[in-house]
Amino acid sequence: MSGAFITLEGGDGSGKTTQAGLLQAWLEEQGRTVVRTREPGGTELGIEIRRLVQHTEGHVAPRAEALLYAADRAQHVATLVRPALERGEVVLQDRYLDSSVAYQGAGRELDGTQIRDLSLWATDGLLPHLTILLDIDPAAGRERMAGRADAPYDRLEDTGLDFAERVRDAYLALAEAEPTRFAVVEASGSPDEVHARVVSPVRAMLDTRR
């Protein structure tokens, strides 16, 4: 069976983690071996980079932030993602290069094309077979986050709603630019309702890769 690389993207509070869990269970029911992972932090080195980029006190210059995410991604793809795909497994990943384009490109107002090129260099050009964009109004996303008792401290979440709006708009523009790679899923509703919307593009993509 050929491997498949699925990424989940979306703003804070869009429900990626919940949907990743439901989708992993569904994929396993289909008989697939799933490697569930995330960025930043999917490798040992990545855990250290995650700590640096998210918890450093004081200012991290936007370009430094972009390079840290790219370094995490390079290590992750080389040591975990590509080997799993070569074994024919499904890699189900919370965030990938589109996060960098949306957060560092649009959010931090760096050049989105350069940020994308940096990630493509870091990963030797690896793009997902399918990217699910969980789209939610940023204000609704923040409300969901506020209800989460375990919400970790995250420097980016200190940013304002205008930041979150820029991130959302950038994601939607990315989806429009690459309609065959992206599936935009309305992320409001119950976990099961959203899961049903997520499954159909996944099923379609897997059918084309049999």
**Binding residue for ligand TYD, selected from 3, 19, 34, 103, defined by CB under 6 A:** 103
- Residue of the chain from 31, 58, 125, 152 that contacts ligand TYD (CB under 6 A): 152
Q: Which is nearer to ligand TYD, 127 or 156 (CB)?
A: 156
Q: Is 10 left (phi over 0), alpha (psi -120 to 50) or beta?
A: left
- For position 69 contacting ligand TYD by CB under 6 A, the verdict is yes
| Candidate list 6, 94, 164, 175; residue touching ligand TYD; CB under 6 A | 94
What tokens were used for 18? 């919940």
Nearer to ligand TYD, 55 or 203 (CB): 55
**Minimum Å distance from CB 180 to ligand TYD?**
22
* 187 close to 134: Cβ distance less than 8 angstroms: yes
Instruction: Count CB neighbours of 115 within 10 A.
Output: 24
Whose Cβ is closer to ligand TYD: residue 124's or residue 154's? 154
- Which residue's Cβ lies closest to ligand TYD? 103
For 164, residues 6+ apart whose C-beta sits below 8 A from its C-beta are 11, 12, 138, 141, 142
Tell me which stretch binds ligand TYD (CB under 6 A): 22-30, 56-64, 94-102, 123-131: 94-102
What CA dihedral angle connects 62, 64, 66 and 69, to 10 degrees? -140
The answer to whether 35 and 86 are in contact (CB under 8 A) is no
100 touches ligand TYD by CB under 6 A: yes
CB closer to ligand TYD, 89 vs 94: 94
